[in-house]
């Protein structure tokens, strides 16, 4: 018997923060025009086994409205899905200039598109950082299973659209050893007033590859995966934290992630400031359209 389907929606599966397939972080971009229910969106993310998917519809205040879903909840903003969404739109010819504006639950996100030969570069400007609660080193050492003295600076919750505890550690070897105690993380979350608090973003200033300044990891609790290959929203928050705490000497640098998973990714990062205040963070990456097709539901 041939199964009948009432609705079909275009989609692209895009690897963000890489020019090559199977690197960086994958995201499926669905053109559902706001038709799908929240539960359907959650089900789709679970079906893909990706960390996140985006769902696009029209907007009265921007070029497109973008919704970001994990496997268990909607979140206001996410970095690699923004890059992936822009790449999908470019590949489908759905924009006619080098600038895009996305309506998100975190506000309007401005995206710039540029070409360097055959390479497409996509830049998103994340909102001005919100510096939240500072957290005792001991709490994060317990959560990550690493020595307290290996944390270089007092961790802090920072958001450039999505809040992450930023934790800078002393070496790549320490970063390799991080293993999350999720009971301890739940205890931390119970003491913080954030509606959503993402998992800690672990950072070192000794990346395994050349031309990078930072290397990071995001070990996941609620997703279908145990670790995120590349985290664009946390990269923005990390950059603001490093600049605010004078841990970097230049506002522009390359950020790396994903090597331990065999999915190396890279972003060009620029901390934007005016009169000593950080006004935003620009995160730039490439992307590769891996698959395209139709969702039948």
Q: What is the pLDDT of residue 92?
A: 96
User: In the predicted model, is pLDDT for residue 291 greater than 70?
Assistant: yes
The better pLDDT of the pair 24, 192 is held by 24
User: In the predicted model, is pLDDT for residue 150 greater than 80?
Assistant: yes
Residue 186 neighbours by CB distance under 10 Å: 11
Dump pLDDT digits (tens) for 151-204: 999 999 999 999 999 999 999 999 999 999 999 999 999 998 878 899 999 999
Q: What is the pLDDT of residue 2?
A: 54
Q: What is the pLDDT of residue 43?
A: 97
User: In the predicted model, is pLDDT for residue 4 greater than 70?
Assistant: no
With respect to CATH, is domain 8-124+286-296 assigned 3.60.20.10? no
What average pLDDT does this structure show over 23-29?
98
Q: What is the pLDDT of residue 3?
A: 56
Closest CA to 209 of 255, 251, 249, 151: 255
Closest CA to 228 of 70, 13, 106: 70
- Mean pLDDT value across the chain: 95
Domain residue spans in the chain?
8-124+286-296, 130-285
Q: If 0-12 CB within 10 Å is exposed, 13-18 middle and 19+ buried, where does residue 131 land?
A: middle
Q: What is the pLDDT of residue 5?
A: 57
Dump pLDDT digits (tens) for 194-249: 788 999 999 999 999 999 999 999 999 876 689 999 999 999 999 999 999 999 99
With respect to CATH, is domain 130-285 assigned 3.10.310.10? yes
Distance CA 233, CA 2 (A): 43
Asked whether the domain spanning 130-285 has the same topology as the one spanning 8-124+286-296, the reply is yes
Dump pLDDT digits (tens) for 70-103: 999 999 999 999 999 999 999 999 987 899 999 9
Cα 72 → chain centroid: 16
What average pLDDT does this structure show over 114-126?
92
Q: pTM of the predicted model, to two decimals?
A: 0.94
């Amino acid at each position: 018997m041939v199964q009948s389907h009432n609705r079909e929606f275009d989609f692209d599966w895009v690897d963000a923060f890489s020019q090559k397939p199977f690197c960086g972080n994958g995201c499926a971009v669905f053109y559902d025009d706001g038709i799908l229910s929240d539960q359907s969106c959650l089900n789709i993310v679970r079906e893909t086994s990706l960390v996140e998917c985006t769902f696009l519809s029209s907007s009265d205040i921007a070029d497109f409205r973008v919704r970001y879903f994990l496997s268990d909840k909607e979140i206001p903003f996410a970095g690699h899905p923004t890059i992936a969404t822009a790449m999908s739109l470019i590949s489908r010819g759905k924009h006619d200039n080098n600038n895009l504006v996305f309506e998100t639950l975190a506000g309007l996100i401005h995206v710039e598109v540029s070409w360097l030969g055959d390479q497409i570069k996509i830049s998103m400007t994340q909102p001005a950082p919100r510096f939240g609660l500072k957290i005792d080193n001991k709490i994060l050492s317990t959560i990550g299973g690493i020595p307290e003295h290996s944390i270089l600076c007092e961790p802090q919750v920072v958001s450039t659209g999505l809040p992450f505890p930023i934790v800078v550690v002393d070496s790549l070897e320490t970063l390799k050893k991080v293993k999350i105690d999720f009971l301890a993380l739940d205890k931390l979350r119970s003491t913080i007033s954030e509606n959503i608090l993402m998992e800690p973003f672990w950072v070192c200033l000794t990346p395994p590859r050349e031309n990078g300044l930072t290397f990071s990891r995001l070990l996941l609790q609620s997703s279908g995966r145990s670790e995120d290959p590349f985290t664009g929203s946390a990269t923005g928050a990390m950059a603001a934290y490093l600049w605010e705490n004078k841990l970097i000497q230049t506002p522009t640098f390359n950020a790396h992630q994903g090597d331990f998973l065999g999915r190396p990714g890279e972003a060009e990062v620029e901390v934007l400031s005016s009169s000593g205040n950080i006004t935003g963070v620009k995160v730039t990456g490439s992307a590769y359209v891996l698959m395209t097709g139709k969702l039948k539901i």
